[in-house]
């Protein structure tokens, strides 16, 4: 009996063990079946064709391409054509051979034309918000961007991704520049306690740290004219030779907005429209009364020899660089940034740095808003009216063959390279720290010191910024912080830190653009412009030519103002501008912060 009980006990223990083991196995099985496997968002493989204007010297399987291909499970096929060369874009568009993602400023048709021909696809705002959230946040911050590059007739569908460069509307391209020693020689010494010195960021040029300064001048129009006269008739450089003069007259462009046209309250950009002080009408530049006064001022100075014109035999920039390099011109129209970028051979040819490098290492210059116009006016033009833009130069587009799945992957790449972090943004825009550049001081605050191409290994050469969007956040505050901490003042942080940007940035009465006017109104404006502008241009060109040649005896009786222009124009562009309300006041609508 005991033996039988023992057998039963052994069997009971055995079956209990088996049961426990089975239960544990069942629990394990249950646990295994409920475990969630993380989904790979990039599991599907894509081949993506890619074209930008920076493809010209791209090397296949370059470091940035390989990084992105591995990370996003794609094969990026970078096309070798150059997006800014019309001869290379025309065959592609004629054949309908459109890349998946591209930036082609030289495309033969505008963005809306490409879309209407079925070459590109549209992008709904919901897809941008979902797959490209960094860009959507930029639009929300400056919402005038929602109006740019819409599909005609739509309010939530876009032709592509519009460029957003906040710095471009916080930046003056040009500055007035004047020889400090000459000023002292002719009795207009500058208060040197108001000078902010420039600290060079390019290695090898530190010796010029005490040669260029920034300041706000307060010379009146009468004093400006007297300075022009004395620079020409006296001997400001003290060499005993009559070989100096006041200023080179430049045909109106981005270099002349502060030193020439800004004194009279206008700039060179044709889309800016002004409220005329005589008629009260909203008019383009050529019908703006101060334009007549400006030409009279230029003409008088040319006649007296206080200003001189370029020969006109080569490009204006080549001739201007040559005219200023010998340090015989007192007032200079200067670029607002290239005086620092001396690692570029081209930049070294521009004034005032061309003088320091080639003619006189001891010369000293002050740059900034220095003079006032006849009624105390001084304005300058921001590089762009707001951060966005229209036309082929301001949009990156998607080929019609791209479905939503591939679009999502393209946007994944662009979100990463453009909006992930400062480090990643810098990597794909400017290259690898320690190879392509190094920081002059604290990273992401100080200026970059760029490695010359000749010093780069072959695998690191070629233009960068191929795989990102043209979206640039504001860097003004960083530049101010760097300047205050490390002494690296540059022109625009100086202007912003001292409240001078808001003081001098021109705000036009109206701005002629599809984004502000809408496609329908802008199309009508363009139609009338195409019809009558050639006739107007003929009148304006003739008037200007005679003015610069000193052939106008009485400016007040000459027909350049609007009423005279309308006499022979049955359908008038200017009448259209006056009657129609083209846009709201620009700065109110774009709501751009200085920083």
Q: How confident is the model at residue 187 (pLDDT cuts 50, 70, 90)?
A: very high
Q: How confident is the model at residue 563 (pLDDT cuts 50, 70, 90)?
A: low
Q: How confident is the model at residue 594 (pLDDT cuts 50, 70, 90)?
A: very low
Q: What is the rounded average pLDDT of the residues 402-416?
A: 98
In a domain, 150, yes or no: yes
pLDDT over 60 at 241, yes or no: yes
- As a whole number, the mean pLDDT across the chain is 87
Q: Half-sphere exposure of 578 toward its Cβ, with a 13 Å CA cutoff?
A: 15
Neighbours of 518 (CB within 10 A): 16
Q: How confident is the model at residue 335 (pLDDT cuts 50, 70, 90)?
A: very high
In a domain, 62, yes or no: yes
User: Which CATH number do you get for residue 64?
Assistant: 3.40.190.10
Give the model's pLDDT for residue 50: 97
In a domain, 126, yes or no: yes
223-232: pLDDT as tens digits: 999 999 999 9
The 8-class DSSP code of residue 70 comes to H
Q: How confident is the model at residue 174 (pLDDT cuts 50, 70, 90)?
A: very high
Q: How confident is the model at residue 579 (pLDDT cuts 50, 70, 90)?
A: very low
Give the model's pLDDT for residue 564: 58
Cβ 560 vs Cβ 292: under 8 Å: yes
Give the model's pLDDT for residue 525: 85
89-132: pLDDT as tens digits: 999 999 999 999 999 999 999 999 999 999 999 999 999 999 99
The 8-class DSSP code of residue 172 comes to B
Structure tokens at 251: 């045909």
Cβ 592 vs Cβ 142: under 8 Å: yes
In a domain, 53, yes or no: yes
In a domain, 422, yes or no: yes
Report CA-CA distances (Å) from 441 to 444, 446, 470, 484, 495: 9, 5, 26, 13, 22
- The domain total for the chain is 1
521-541: pLDDT as tens digits: 888 888 888 888 888 888 888
Give the model's pLDDT for residue 513: 86
Interstrand relation of 157-158 and 123-124 (parallel, antiparallel or unpaired): antiparallel
Structure tokens at 517: 């006017």
348-362: pLDDT as tens digits: 999 999 999 999 999
Give the model's pLDDT for residue 318: 96
Task: Pick the more confident residue, 567 or 443.
Answer: 443
Q: How confident is the model at residue 560 (pLDDT cuts 50, 70, 90)?
A: low
In a domain, 133, yes or no: yes
Neighbours of 109 (CB within 10 A): 14
pLDDT over 50 at 581, yes or no: no
Structure tokens at 46: 């894509």
pLDDT over 60 at 567, yes or no: no
In a domain, 134, yes or no: yes
Give the model's pLDDT for residue 277: 92
pLDDT over 90 at 401, yes or no: yes
What are the helix (H) ranges across 431-518? 476-486, 491-497, 500-504, 514-517
Give the model's pLDDT for residue 530: 87
48-82: pLDDT as tens digits: 999 987 777 888 899 999 999 999 999 999 998 99
pLDDT over 80 at 566, yes or no: no
In angstroms, rounded to a whole number, what is the distance separating the alpha carbons of residues 52 and 83? 5
249-279: pLDDT as tens digits: 999 999 999 999 999 999 999 999 999 998 8
Q: What percent of the chain has pLDDT over 70?
A: 87
In a domain, 303, yes or no: no
In DSSP terms, which residues pair with 366 in a beta bridge? 178, 213
Domain of 392? 46-163+387-474
364-387: pLDDT as tens digits: 999 999 999 999 999 999 998 999
Q: What is the rounded average pLDDT of the residues 196-209?
A: 90
pLDDT over 70 at 587, yes or no: no
Q: What is the rounded average pLDDT of the residues 560-586?
A: 49
426-482: pLDDT as tens digits: 999 999 999 999 987 788 877 788 888 889 999 999 889 999 999 998 889 989 998
Task: Pick the more confident residue, 589 or 416.
Answer: 416
In angstroms, rounded to a whole number, what is the distance separating the alpha carbons of residues 328 and 224? 17
């Amino acid at each position: 009996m005991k033996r039988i009980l023992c057998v039963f006990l052994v069997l009971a223990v055995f079956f209990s063990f088996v049961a426990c083991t089975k239960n544990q196995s069942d629990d394990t099985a249950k646990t295994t079946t409920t475990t969630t496997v993380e989904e790979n968002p990039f599991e599907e493989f894509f081949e993506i064709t890619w074209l930008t204007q920076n493809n010209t010297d791209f090397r296949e399987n370059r470091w940035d391409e390989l990084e992105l291909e591995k990370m996003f499970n794609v094969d990026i096929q970078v096309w070798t054509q150059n997006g800014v060369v019309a001869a290379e874009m025309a065959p592609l568009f004629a054949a309908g051979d459109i890349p998946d993602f591209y930036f082609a400023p030289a495309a033969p048709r505008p963005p809306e034309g490409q879309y209407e021909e079925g070459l590109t696809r549209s992008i709904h705002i919901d897809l941008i918000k979902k797959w490209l959230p960094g860009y959507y946040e930029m639009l929300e911050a400056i919402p005038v961007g929602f109006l740019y590059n819409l599909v005609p007739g739509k309010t939530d569908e876009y032709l592509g991704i519009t460029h957003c460069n906040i710095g471009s509307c916080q930046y003056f391209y040009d500055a007035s520049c004047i020889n400090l020693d000459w000023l002292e020689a002719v009795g207009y010494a500058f208060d040197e306690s108001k000078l902010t010195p420039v600290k060079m960021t390019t290695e090898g040029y530190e010796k010029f740290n005490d040669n260029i300064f920034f300041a706000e001048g307060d010379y009146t129009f009468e004093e400006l004219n007297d300075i022009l006269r004395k620079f020409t008739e006296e001997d400001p450089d003290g060499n005993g030779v009559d070989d100096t003069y006041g200023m080179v007259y430049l045909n109106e462009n981005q270099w002349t907005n502060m030193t020439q046209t800004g004194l009279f309250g206008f700039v060179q950009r044709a889309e800016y429209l002004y409220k005329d002080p005589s008629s009260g009408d909203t008019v383009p530049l050529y019908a703006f009364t101060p334009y007549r006064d400006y030409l009279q001022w230029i003409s008088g100075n040319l006649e007296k020899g206080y200003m001189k014109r370029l020969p006109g035999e080569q490009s204006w920039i080549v001739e201007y660089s040559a005219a200023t390099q010998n340090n015989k011109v007192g007032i200079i129209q200067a670029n607002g940034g290239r005086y620092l970028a001396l690692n570029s051979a081209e930049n070294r040819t521009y004034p005032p740095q061309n003088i320091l490098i080639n003619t006189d290492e001891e010369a000293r210059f002050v740059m900034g808003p220095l003079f006032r116009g006849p009624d105390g006016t001084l304005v300058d033009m921001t590089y762009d009216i707001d951060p966005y833009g229209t036309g082929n130069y301001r949009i990156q587009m998607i080929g019609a063959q791209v479905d939503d799945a591939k679009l999502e992957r393209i946007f994944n790449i662009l979100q990463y390279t453009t909006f992930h972090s400062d480090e990643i943004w810098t990597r794909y825009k400017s290259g690898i720290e320690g190879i392509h550049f190094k920081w002059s001081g604290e990273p992401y605050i100080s200026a970059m010191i760029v490695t010359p191409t000749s010093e780069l290994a072959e695998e690191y050469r070629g233009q960068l910024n191929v795989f990102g969007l043209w979206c640039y956040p504001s860097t003004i505050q960083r530049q101010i912080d760097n300047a205050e901490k490390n002494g690296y003042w540059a022109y625009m942080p100086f202007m912003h830190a001292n409240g001078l940007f808001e003081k001098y940035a021109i705000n036009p009465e109206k701005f002629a653009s599809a984004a502000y006017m809408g496609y329908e109104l802008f199309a009508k404006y363009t139609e009338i412009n195409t019809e009558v502008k050639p006739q107007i241009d003929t009148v304006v060109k003739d008037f200007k030519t005679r003015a610069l040649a000193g052939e106008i005896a009485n400016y007040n009786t000459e027909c350049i103002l609007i009423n005279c222009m309308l006499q022979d124009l049955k359908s008038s562009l200017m009448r259209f501008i006056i009657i129609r309300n083209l846009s709201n006041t620009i700065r109110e609508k774009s709501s751009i912060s200085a920083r």
